[in-house]
Structure 1
Amino acid sequence: MQQRSLLELTMLKLFGIVFFCGLLSPSQEVLSGLSCAVSPAAMQKVLSDAILQNGLLQQHLQGLVVPNIMGGEGLLSSPTSITGLHLAEVRVPRLSVSLLPGIGVQMIITAKLELRGNCLVGLLSDLISILVDVRITANIKCTNFESGTVQVVIEDCLCVLGAIKINLLAGLLSLSVDDIVLTQLTATLPGLLCPVVGIVINHVNIQLLSTLNAVIPVGAAGTIHYQLASLPFTSGSFLGMDLDGAVKRVGGSIIPHDSSPSTLPPLLDNLMVMGMRPSFLNSVLSLLLQMPSQNFTCTPGAFSGASQLQEAIATLLPAECSTCLGTSPLNIKLTLSGNPLILLEENKATVQLAVTIQVFIQGSDGLILNLLLLQANLNLDVGVSIAGGRLVLGLSLGSISLSLESSDVGISDISTLKPHISSLVVELLLPLLNAALGIGIPLPNVLGIPLLKVHVRILGGLLAILV
């Protein structure tokens, strides 16, 4: 059992991947999509749930065999031997976490271990139960970052035994036997428990790494591949992680994004802060807003300002074209041009979006007469919410500017069209954009911390999600 544990611990050090350790400060060269700061309290909850509440520690300690204890003189000056000693139960285990700035994480597990076996004192044989307090302290850090993974290093695992209680022969064992048991357990238990703790940590790493390295679909449009962008790092008050989010179209290529350094807001009483950078959000918006051109016939039922728009355009037509609108319906084609651009200012988010608006009529012969080709530059106000682990953006019209690109009929003054085009954008285009954004941007399930009681803050150059 001991040899196998030592082998598994060696494998852990070579191949394990960890989430909750770190070295030094984050690299300034990292171009990540988002960053996270996790509080010690959140880490303690995550680790306690994974190791203790889920029974992982009990499972791997169950049946642990302890070497035989051969003692000197015990009851009635007779030799004492304890055999078949094994771990029967882990009682009241507790786990605590502290951060070691620039080094990693210190994890402390305290518990009462109940060991059972057979005891022979002189000519008297009976079952023995030994209850011993243990405190296991392990310093954990990581190194050798490569392709989203890091290697685990467990250093300075220290196992200290405390109070010991022996139940045998109605408590008639002498204190000398207690001393013998404590001495031999002190010599053997640390070499058994520390490798088991290493194995447990490895299992937890594998479980929680999937929350940091995951490919998540974005509706039918594409995927986001989240993974660690650099080594995790620790300060005295939080664990920091930079994550990259590779945004990829279905059947297409990755939409690139870069990043500039940004500072997360302080944790305060929050469990976690996640910061998303504009360049990453822009790449996701480009994925979601892949909208084909939209064609509408300008009839009263199309939108509330359709009649007014048609009348306004009629007044702009030269005399020789005054009968055009009477013979053919007015058609409108909306085409998104360029990529959306999100701007994050203090307490305000806006999306800039360019739209080409073609107003034309098509004769019975199929020929198209282009009345107007407009460029509309939209400033859209952004509302932000969290639903189902996704960041949902809602757009509303803030302002619009119009420019005339061309006109086949000689229209040059479009100043009267702005309110009607605004109505067109609000009633026809924005519902389509919001429907496309309604599926939301999937967020990484960092360490399994649920996104409950979430507060979103918009800062200069950063969208911060506080849990």
Structure 2
Amino acid sequence: MKMFELFGILFFCGLLTPSQEVLPGLSCAVSPRAMRNVLSGAILQNGLLQQHLQSLVLPNIMNEGGLPNAPVSITRLHLVKAQFPELSVMLLPGVGVQMIIAAKLDLRGNSLIGLLSEIIDIIVDVSITANVKCTNYESGTVQVIIEDCLCIFGAIKVKLLSGLLSLSINDLVRNQLTGTLPGLLCSVINIVVNLVGIQLLGTLNAVIPVGTAGTIQYQLASLPFTSGSFLGFDLDGEVHQVGGSIIPQDSSSSTLPPLLDKLLVLGLRQGFLNAVVSLLIQRQPLMFVSTPETFSGAKQLKEAVMTLFPAGCSSCPRTDPLSIKIVLSGNPLLLLEVNKATLKLSVMIQLFIQNLDGSILNLLLLKADVGLSVRVSVTGRRLLLTVSLSSIALSLESSSVGIGNISSLKPHCKNLLVEKFLPLLNGFLSIGIPLPNVLGIDLANVNVQILSGLLVILM
């Protein structure tokens, strides 16, 4: 799978992304316990190893005999059943993953011992150790290989229906099986590991839709690497708008916290998250006539605006309904600080009168620099962001009726944004950010930690 050679810089507190011109958007550390669960599921519980062992072609066991021994012939020897009591995993720094599979093989064949022909059963206990690594990284793909494979045999029990068995037959069976089985078993392990490697690497290289706004293309950014305590790898997360254009990402160095007793730690960098948030938040303007049915503070806002009209302004409308247009200005910016996530936006608020002839009288064009507190959670395999208003700074951009002082409008504009704009914004964000399916590990009972420039998911 992705068990691999050292190709990064390991720090005492965890994992730092290998030095690159453009840092990858995500980094992940996986514990040996999680790797054991992944490998056990993919190789044993899904029946993949059992399936490929069934195709084992075992050589005949022959002994011409001679006084005082009778000739022995064991043919059509095949696997009846395989049991796998245990699979264990060790991470080897600079090498990769060492996988140890304990197996009990039940073999059966036809035997001819002297003049007696009958069924023979052979039970073999064997421990298979394979060192697995990845090499030849290229554009998100790596080659999974087995560097070493070793079979250590335990008990080999031979049983005939008649129960008649000589010590020499036991020795013959043991000698021939220990000479031929290792090569056959290691060939099967090599096939299985390659298949599992393709399957698991496929979880890291995927294109996932983000609603109808675009896609995220996850891809392995470099060779995975190992320490004695975790398997680490980096992922690029390219964010594509509909039509194919890529949203650029800023990159900054950030370090994953240590695994400790966790199965998995996944870190999403601030630049990557900003690109996805820019994709999620659509720029369509929100426009409506301000009435008590559409906005509960409509009357108070209209009255507050009317008090700002210059004295003697004959063109200032006092009875026409007030129309409002709210539109996002510039790019949203998500800031990650220790235990705190803030989304900063600039919003243009236009208060105007729509005349009967279709012309527009611009009463006020305001700019609101908004700070939003962000609550983060994980549901299924999606990162969800929910925002609430924490700060607002209001400034005047223009007024066609000569309004100059807008300080009294701040509480009304705050209510306007809370009531009309934030529900729209949270609706956009409710699609969520699809997370990579890291080795097929379910993201259940996760904790989310916010560090400087890094959002961390721990399980």
**TM-score band, normalised by shorter chain:** over 0.9
Letter paired with 2:3? F
Partner of 1:28: 19
Letter paired with 2:5? G
**Per the alignment, in what secondary structure is the counterpart of residue 366 of structure 1?**
coil
Mapping of residues 321-400 of structure 1, within 5 Å: 321=313, 324-400=316-392
* In structure 2, C-alpha distance between the alignment counterparts of 1:317 and 1:47, rounded to whole Å: 73
* In structure 2, C-alpha distance between the alignment counterparts of 1:76 and 1:120, rounded to whole Å: 16
Residue 66 of structure 1, CA deviation = 1.1
Letter paired with 1:100? L
Mapping of residues 40-51 of structure 1, within 5 Å: 40-51=32-43
Partner of 1:239: 231
TM-score by structure 1 length?
A: 0.93
Distance 1:274 1:322, change over 3 A: farther
CA contact (8 A) 2:110 2:117 kept: yes
Partner of 2:395: 403
CA contact (8 A) 2:315 2:401 kept: no
* In structure 2, C-alpha distance between the alignment counterparts of 1:74 and 1:413, rounded to whole Å: 115
* In structure 2, C-alpha distance between the alignment counterparts of 1:36 and 1:89, rounded to whole Å: 38
1:213 aligns with 2:236: no
Alignment deviations for residues 279-332 of structure 1 (CA, whole Å, 9 cap, x no partner):
101000110101311112122222222211111111111123366333422111
Letter paired with 1:22? E
* In structure 1, C-alpha distance between the alignment counterparts of 2:55 and 2:245, rounded to whole Å: 52
* In structure 2, C-alpha distance between the alignment counterparts of 1:24 and 1:74, rounded to whole Å: 60
Letter paired with 1:316? L
1:457 aligns with 2:440: no
Partner of 1:69: 61
Bigger shift: 261-270 or 307-316? 261-270
* In structure 2, C-alpha distance between the alignment counterparts of 1:390 and 1:190, rounded to whole Å: 45
Gaps spanning 5+ residues in structure 2: where? 9-16
Flag the structure with higher helix content.
1
Bigger shift: 301-310 or 128-137? 301-310
Partner of 1:184: 176
Residue 261 of structure 1, CA deviation = 1.8
Bigger shift: 162-171 or 408-417? 162-171
Residue 72 of structure 1, CA deviation = 6.0
Partner of 1:296: 288
CA contact (8 A) 1:377 1:402 kept: yes
Letter paired with 2:6? L
CA contact (8 A) 1:32 1:258 kept: no
CA contact (8 A) 2:2 2:144 kept: no
Partner of 1:112: 104
Mapping of residues 421-436 of structure 1, within 5 Å: 421-436=413-428
CA contact (8 A) 1:454 1:466 kept: yes
1:84 pairs, out of 55, 76, 80, with 76
Mapping of residues 246-257 of structure 1, within 5 Å: 246-257=238-249
Query: Identical aligned pairs, as a percentage?
Result: 67
CA contact (8 A) 1:52 1:93 kept: no
CA contact (8 A) 2:316 2:401 kept: no
**Per the alignment, in what secondary structure is the counterpart of residue 260 of structure 1?**
coil
Bigger shift: 152-161 or 440-449? 152-161
Gaps spanning 5+ residues in structure 1: where? 1-17
